[in-house]
Amino acid sequence: MNNNPIGIFDSGIGGLTVVKEIRRILPNENIVYLGDTARLPYGTKSVDAIIQFSLENAEFLISRGAKLIVIACYSSTSVALEIVQKNLAVPVIGVIQPGVEKAVELTKNRKIGVIGTSLTIYSGAYEKAFRKIGERCEVLGKACPLFVSLVEEGWLDHPATERIAQTYLGPFKEDNIDTILLGCTHFPLLMQVFQKIMGKINYVDAAREVGTMVAEELRKLDLERGEQGGDLAIYLTDLSMNFKEIGERFLGEPMRNFSRITLKGK
């Protein structure tokens, strides 16, 4: 089992930011990544659809021998984490709880902003995660769906991106938040724009915390891989336009081993 891969899935290739962190923290682990590019975006779809897609994605990773699964997609984690956990015999880690714990550690005034897709924000998953760890914080959510397309377009420092960010984030300044949770795979790439608008507050990108959590879980279960040099296999449900260029932006290294697969629907 120790040589089996860690399975990671996302709605697309944004979750490669989480892969990047896991590869940095656990360079000897084999990783199988599934990006459901054919059914992207998840952030604007219904709860039922995302639960179904998430279960199918997890099933695919299990068929590849995954010893642990990471849901790198915030929209999926928001609505499907518990159901996927109940359906699988291996540990399943989402991206919301680790970020919430980090935000609680960083905030001084306990006023926290959360940005994400519409599904993530309206699901109330972040509020639930704060309650779960018994922390009383004022949580202010803002759905920022346009950021996803702007990042996919590569408009990381485009004036249009700045204007849209100003519209979305401007009101947070009056709320006096001191910490903001980046609740979407794509948002860490817009960090510079956020900093320009929000200034010196705490920005939480959960990818690092997720990596640490995966490492702890593998240690606890004695499932670490001892051998040198882990492989990364990337499966996508569609090889969409510019996927390689955009994917490498998220992954921070060349995408070498990738292929298209068709998922078995129910």
Residue 132, φ and ψ in degrees, nearest 5 = -60, -35
In a 10 Å sphere around its CB, with 0-12 CB exposed, 13-18 middle and 19+ buried, how is residue 180 labelled?
buried
Interface stretch with ligand DGL, choices 60-68, 182-190, 231-239, 247-255 (CB under 6 A):
182-190
The contacts of residue 160 (CB under 8 Å, 6+ apart) are 150
Interface pattern 205-244 for ligand DGL (x via CB under 6 A): ----------------------------------------
CA angle 105/109/112 to nearest 5° reads 70
Q: Which listed range, 68-76, 96-104, 126-134, 204-212, lies at the site for ligand DGL (CB under 6 A)?
A: 68-76
From 184, 193, 201, 214, active-site residue: 184
Task: Check residue 204 and give left, alpha or beta (phi > 0: left; psi -120 to 50: alpha).
Answer: beta
Residue among 30, 37, 97, 120 that touches ligand DGL (CB under 6 A):
120
How many helices (DSSP H) and strands (DSSP E) are in the chain? 11, 10
| CB of 89 vs ligand DGL, minimal distance in Å | 25
Please identify, using beta-carbon distances, which residue of 11 and 107 lies nearer to ligand DGL: 11
From CA 205, how far away is CA 185, in angstroms rounded? 9
137 is catalytic: no
Q: Which of 96, 148, 232, 234 binds ligand DGL (CB under 6 A)?
A: 148
Nearer to ligand DGL, 147 or 172 (CB): 147
AA identity, residue 164: I
Closest CA to 225 of 215, 211, 212: 215
Question: Minimal CA–CA distance to 75: which of 110, 33, 30, 39?
Answer: 39
Say if CB 92 and CB 67 are below 8 A apart.
no
State which residue, 182 or 223, has the beta carbon closest to ligand DGL.
182
* Catalytic annotation, pick one of 73, 81, 114, 246: 73
Residue 99 as a binder of ligand DGL (CB under 6 A): the answer is no
Distance (Å, whole) CA 237 – CA 114:
29
Contact flag: residue 57 with ligand DGL (CB under 6 A) = no
Residues numbered 8 to 27 that lie near ligand DGL (CB under 6 A) are: 10-12, 14
Nearer to ligand DGL, 38 or 233 (CB): 38
Task: Out of 129, 184, 193, 201, point to the residue binding ligand DGL (CB under 6 A).
Answer: 184
Question: Considering the complex, what minimum distance in angstroms separates the CB of residue 100 from ligand DGL?
Answer: 15
Which C-beta is closer to ligand DGL: that of 37 or that of 225? 37
| Rounded CA separation 70/93 (Å) | 5
Q: Which residues are catalytically annotated?
A: 73, 184
Kindly list the residues in this chain that would bind ligand DGL in the complex (CB under 6 A).
10-12, 14, 40-43, 73-75, 117, 120, 148, 184-186
